[in-house]
Structure 1
């Protein structure tokens, strides 16, 4: 969330403070976490790509389970 806000030029100004308030954490704690994530090489696009891949996997699994449920009824 914070990495994505920082990556967007339109939302980057004040992003740490804004996201910290939304999450209910201290802004310096969030800033530390963001710096650590950036140092580990996790940019917003890789986080989004990982999330999208996981979402696609879960949606596929959900379809398969619904189909199996229908067959078993």
Structure 2
């Protein structure tokens, strides 16, 4: 095992125990990961809704109807 890996594990354990405040706890890191994933999904959903809205607006607009 590399000594740097062990040192990182010890630091993380200290952060999780509340002994360090210079790095996020494992729970905070997991929450941040989950929130970033959720934001990405919401952005994708917004893009889909914008595209659908623009499409439907064109379909409803009588000045743009094809004859």
Decide which structure has the larger Cα Rg and report it. 2
Q: Larger RCO: Structure 1 or Structure 2 (Cα < 8 Å, ≥ 6 residues apart)? A: 1
| TM superposition score normalised by structure 2 | 0.48
| TM superposition score normalised by structure 1 | 0.44
